[in-house]
Structure 1
Amino acid sequence: MKFIPTIRHVADDLAIEAVTDEQELVIEYRDETNRPWWKFFDEYEYRQNSYEKSGHKWFKWFDERDTKEDKKLILKLDLLLTCYSLAVYWVKYLDQTNVNNAYVSGMREDLGFKGNDLVNVQAMYLLPFMFMLPKVPLNIVIPAMDLCWGIMTLLCCKIHSVAALKVIRFFVGVFESGFVPTAYFLMGSWYKPSEVARRAGFFYMGQFLGLLSSGLLASAALDLDGVGGFEGWRWVFIVDAIATLPLAVIGFFVIPGTPDKCVSLFLTDDEIRRCRLRMKPYATETTAVEKKKFFSWELWKPLLTTWRMPLLVLVACIFFNNNSGTSGSFILWLKSLTDSEGNQRYTNQKINQLSSVAPGLGFVYVYSASLFADMFKCRWGAIAITQTLNFIGCVILAVWDVSEAAKWFAFCLQYTSWSMSPSYFGWVSDIMRHDPQAYAIVIVAMNMMGQSTQAWVSVLVFPTEESPRFTKGFATCAACAFGCVVGGIAVLYFYKRDEKRICHKNGIILVGSAVECIEAEKDNTTDRKESIKGDDIKVDDIRVSASSESVNYQ
């Protein structure tokens, strides 16, 4: 049936590929003799030459050199991928944060929560569910996960004990945990590295939309208290499930798979060919690099013996523990506030409404960070700025004995922590662009290890019985924020070192001093080194155009 998504067998146009392969690359000759020290912080110094940089404007959604057909294609991909991913991420966080909202709306009293029961429930949904992304049909997997966690969320309205809630939340976590790495892998398969940051920023706003609307929906659900025999907090889960389940059906028809295994009902054959051609230089397709057996040492050796996987996973683990928002600290603090007579200052509805303030500001933080990364070609800078603000907020909360206004300020900075995610994960997509199989392993490992550490760290540093003053928790988040800054600079160092070695492939020829040039072979088993001096330059597989450029540091 033509309305059921199936793999599209679209042959590549060899004539067009041959013409594309023959296109000339503008070369920039760059004298490194008097290179200033501060160029170390220029992330794209060896990634793009001046000609390529001039074709990308931060305030424009498309690149300057995108054709009319390319813009139409990218816009279609944005509707199919970015908008759908945002919607699913929104309901994902609705289903994750509804426990906090239900907890302060009567569930604690009805189910008899004690001690750290709330933290133990939250840890359940952080357990990872790892699978191999290049091998799964994404148009089946993502909707299936969405459907399953939506059903589990709906079942929460029927629970009558903390133990039952833990079991159901465990399965919610199993089905939810694979979505983020899958979404990033999907975007990395269809978008160029220079296009990922803005899309990832837009997609990641779904997280804050979930946090923001969760409190508002919970407040509205409390008005349904008694309807159908359900308490108001039970309606929180019902409303979230109603928002979740339709997206599972839509995803089956919307998700296009990957360019190599496309199942889209909305892309034409020519558009599929164009997508493959656009992504060919970045080796994001399985046809670009021969796939290795998953348990072979040939696959794992370069991952484990180079800096990429160990460092990227380490920074991810630090990043996953830099946020205090998921602990419910803000909403628990609001609930602890009292008036002059010692009574609870805000009603449950008002608490749910005020709890939307911090994630609402997260919209501004996450997209501002993504724009900064694009505008200044500085992903490490976006990480450093957001985590510095996060560090300040966490230190204020760790001190705690400050004015109420200072606490409001600190809680409003909570979600600067997550704002580095689009920049960092987009950077990882760029770093791992030469091998899609290795990229899939690294992106899943980052989420798997990050979520695993978050599961036990949250239990240790955010015990509910210490609320709302989580001294250990806020101090841990401050330390992790600082660690993210240090980790980002470390990634910058190794990233630039590797890009410098292959800068001739990016249209940059270093002259004026002895420069090491490493040509990576397809099998990644041998490296060829050249010494390039003055005008004595030899570069394979690059045709230099007559209009080359020259850059000298004065």
Structure 2
Amino acid sequence: MFDVLRKINILPLVKEPSPEVYQQVLEKYPKYREEEKDQGLEYRDEANRSRWSFFDEYEYRLPRLTSSKPLTRFGWFDPDDTPAEKRLIMKLDIILTLYCFLIYWIMKLDQANINNAYVSGLKEDIGLEGNDLVTTQALYSAGAIIFQLPFIYIIPKFPKNYILPIMVSGWGVMTLLLFEAKNPAGVKALRFFVGVFEASWYPLMHYMLGSWLKPREINRRAGFVYCAQFLGTITSGLLAAASITHLDGYLGHKGWQWMFILDGIITLPVGILGVWILPGTPYRCSSIFITEEEVVIARERLKRGPNDNHQLKLFDRQLWKNILTSWKLWIPMLADVAFWCSCQIPSSGAFILWLKSLNRYTSAGVNNMSTISPALGFAWVAIVVTIADYGNRWMGIVFAEIWVIIGAIILAIWNVPESAKWFAWCTSYFSISMSASLYSWINDICRHNAQERAIILLLVNTMAQTFSTWTSVVVFKTVESPRYLKGYCFTAALSFTLICLVFVMLWFYKKQERKDARLNGIVLYNSELAETTDPSEASESDRKMDIIEQKCSI
């Protein structure tokens, strides 16, 4: 079907650069030639390696001697990026990073509106009672969890610039239809399908970023995209307040109904435009904004990165043996489960329900006040991403989780001055501010195989959402709001668990990076032992490197 639409010039064509274009790029930019790369090897003596080096994630990723310019960890571009690379990255920042920002803003707008509608008349008009709100949220999560599984096959196989627009348009339609809901069952069914269409978004976004960008370029851009979550929550509160104040009763619809109508109208056109805007991947690029020369540059600058042209069949035994026997699945999965379960204070709507329980504000006032906590989330993301880029990703994650533990303990105690509760609510978004750093790290861990990366991102996200869904029903029951004692204690415990798992993941990561040092232009040896790294310890990526070099020599 896609091929037929391309023939009649409705859909953009896939760009496959000719050998002549490849040759022109190699002649124009000598840094991509294999012989130039070989000359850039660094020979590193580990005889006097400090024990504190364990805490440096990038120890085996930053060649210290070969760069012609000082290499800093924080910066929008690498010092050795050519002008052409910088132009490409700037384009990607617009058509990929900024577009993903818009999508995430819309997704969070469509996701958070149920809490705003609940305190703005939906509860009374539809007849929601008891734990209906948390059940509705759980059904949304169930839809997202169940329908992530088919994307294990879909994401590696089909064009990304078609998958995402279709899904965005789908959840836009479901959100729009919510204004016609007449009973609790209708709301729950539509929210389930909103979750179905949003299922692939977050893993797919990180997959696309990882397909075009170097590992150290992902974190700051993922952090920028993640800020859209807070903007969506803020916008949802402000839109709810405006709908109640100005549109309540207009054309026979309540204010909360107008909120769903406006959300749907905003979502649909942005989703459809993605077909022509999104770049796909370097090996299947169809964006009208990327030239063939830039496709070659993108492939060459990630030469040791993923190539999504070489894939095993989905049910190939070797594929699943590689995945299921690898730490790259299980350790990140445990960390992500702890992350999702530790960030339920913002997602539970506890803050807005607490505001309503004070009986000081009107419905519009409650919605306006509820934007304070997510607004501060912008600052928390900026702080965490900066720590992760200037220092290490584990530092940003641990820093964020310390604040989460402090806030959760305050809320668990509960009988504290109101100012202390405000402090806890205002720091609660630290819990989700480190998501960009965690997922960027997982993306980096799986960078050598595009197919395995897509599967692992989806499995990790699916399992984490699964645990988050059933635990939220148990520890954040609506009838216990706003003092979710079990929920706050659970959050503190899982945050501490996440900190422990981060150091476990760091240990496995450093061990793997040492094996893969040759891929990064670093040859390790120990002058005291008079030996280099044991060849028997060579990883899959080492063998991949040897194969590539053999082909180049031929």
* Distance of 1:313 and 1:11 partners within structure 2: 41
- Alignment counterpart, residue 297 of structure 1, candidates 293, 317, 325: 317
Task: Read off the aligned partner of 2:329 and give its amino acid letter.
Answer: M
Which amino acid in 1 is paired with 2:177?
A: L
Match of 1:6 among 13, 30, 39: 13
TM-score, scaled to structure 1:
0.90
> Secondary structure, in 3 states, of the residue corresponding to 2:304?
helix
Cα deviation 1:170-212 (Å, max 9, x = unaligned): 0000001211111110111111112111111111111111111
1:372 has 2:387 as partner? yes
Q: 1:33 is paired with a residue of what secondary structure?
A: coil
Instruction: Report matched runs for 1:33-432 at 5 Å.
Output: 33-51=47-65, 55-58=70-73, 60-127=75-142, 128=145, 129-130=147-148, 131=151, 132=153, 133-223=155-245, 224-282=247-305, 284-287=306-309, 290-323=310-343, 324-337=345-358, 344-376=359-391, 378-432=392-446
**Offset from partner CA, 1:27-62 (integer Å, 9 cap, x none):** 434333333322211111122222478654355311
Secondary structure of 1:360's aligned partner: helix
Is the alpha carbon distance of 1:466 and 1:73 closer, same or farther for their aligned partners in structure 2, counting shifts above 3 Å?
A: same
Total equivalences in the alignment: 522
Letter in 1 for 2:465: Q
Deviation at 1:426, TM superposition (A): 0.8
Tell me if the contact between 2:448 and 2:541 (Cα under 8 Å) persists in the aligned partners: no
Task: State the alpha-carbon separation in 2 of the partners of residues 516 and 58 from structure 1.
Answer: 27
Q: 3-state SS of the aligned residue for 2:538?
A: strand
8 Å contact from structure 2 (residues 525, 533) kept in 1:
no
CA deviation vs aligned residue, 1:457-514 (integer Å, no higher than 9, x gap): 1111100000000011111111111111111111110000111122233233232244
User: What is the CA deviation profile of residues 434-462 of structure 1, one whole-angstrom value per residue up to 9, with x for unaligned ones?
Assistant: 11111011001111111111111111110
Q: Work out the CA distance in 1 between the residues paired with 2:71 and 2:199.
A: 34
Pick which of 320-329 and 516-525 moved more: 516-525
Conservation of the 8 A alpha-carbon contact between 2:22 and 2:296? no
> What amino acid is the match of 1:167?
A
Q: Distance in 2 between matches of 1:151 and 1:332?
A: 28
> Take 1:499 and 1:523, find their aligned partners in 2: how far apart are those partners?
11
Does structure 2 retain, via aligned residues, the 8 Å contact 1:93–1:210?
yes
1:519 to 497, 517, 538: 538
Aligned-residue CA RMSD (Å): 2.2
- CA distance in 2 between partners of 1:123 and 1:186 (Å): 28
**Counterpart residue type for residue 9 of structure 1:** E
> What is the identity, as a one-letter code, of the residue corresponding to 1:125?
Y
From 468, 472, 475, the counterpart of 2:482: 468
CA distance 1:68–1:197, change in 2 (3 Å): same
- Report the Cα distance in structure 2 between the residues aligned to 1:316 and 1:67, rounded to whole angstroms: 36
Given residue 311 of structure 1, which amino acid in structure 2 is its aligned partner?
A: I
The answer for the alignment partner of 1:537 in structure 2 is none
Higher normalized helix content (fraction of residues): 2
Partner deviation per Cα, 1:509-532 (whole Å, 9 max, x = no partner): 23224453433356979999xxxx
Q: What is the distance in 2 between the residues matched to 1:58 and 1:46?
A: 14
TM-score under structure 2 length normalisation: 0.90
SS of the residue aligned with 2:141? Answer: coil
Q: In 2, Cα distance between the equivalents of 1:306 and 1:513?
A: 32
Secondary structure of the residue aligned to 2:288 is: coil
Inter-CA distance 166–55: structure 2 relative to 1 (3 Å threshold)? farther
1:474-489 alignment, distance < 5 Å: 474-489=488-503
* Percentage of identical aligned residues: 43
Q: Distance in 1 between matches of 2:70 and 2:218?
A: 16
2:3 maps to none
Q: What is the aligned partner in structure 2 of residue 341 from structure 1?
A: none
Q: Structure 2: how far apart are the matches of 1:526 and 1:175?
A: 39
Provide the C-alpha distance between the structure 2 equivalents of 1:88 and 1:333, rounded to a whole number of angstroms: 29
Structure 2, unpaired ranges of 5+: 1-7
In structure 2, the CA distance between the partners of 1:432 and 1:468, relative to structure 1 (3 Å rule), is same
Residues 438 and 174 of structure 1: is their aligned pair in 2 closer, same or farther, counting only changes over 3 Å?
A: same
Q: Secondary structure at the match of 1:10?
A: coil
The whole-number CA distance in structure 1 between the counterparts of 2:89 and 2:419 is: 45
Please report how far the alpha carbon of residue 423 of structure 1 lies from its aligned counterpart in structure 2 after TM superposition: 0.8
Preserved contact between residue 519 and residue 541 of structure 2 (Cα < 8 Å): no
Secondary structure at 1:126 match in 2? helix
Check conservation: 2:516, 2:542, Cα contact below 8 A. no
Contact preservation (8 Å) 1:95, 1:153: yes
Tell me which residue corresponds to 1:504: 518
Q: Distance in 1 between matches of 2:403 and 2:189?
A: 37
* 1:67 Cα offset (Å): 1.3
Write the distance in 1 (CA, Å) between the matches of 2:464 and 2:442: 15
* Residue-by-residue CA offset, 1:225-251 (whole Å, 9 max, x unaligned): 000101111111112112211111211
Tell whether the 8 Å contact from 2:138 to 2:470 is kept in structure 1 after alignment. yes
> How many Å separate the matches in 2 of 1:374 and 1:440?
24
Q: Using a 3 Å threshold, how does the CA distance of structure 1 residues 431 and 244 change in structure 2: closer, same or farther?
A: same
Q: Report the residue type matching 2:322 in the other structure.
A: P
Distance 1:175 1:416 in 2: 27
Q: Which stretch of structure 1 is more off in the superposition, 406-415 or 245-254? A: 245-254
Which structure 1 residue ranges, 5 or more long, are not aligned?
338-343, 529-539, 544-554
Q: What letter is aligned with 1:420?
A: M
Q: Against the structure 1 CA distance between its residues 527 and 387, is the aligned structure 2 distance closer, same or farther, given a 3 Å change threshold?
A: farther
Matched-pair contact (CA < 8 Å) for 2:171–2:197: yes
Query: What is the CA–CA distance in structure 2 between the aligned matches of 1:274 and 1:71, rounded to whole Å?
Result: 11
CA–CA separation in structure 2 for the residues paired with 1:286 and 1:52: 29
The CA distance in 1 between the partners of 2:533 and 2:468, in whole Å, is 41
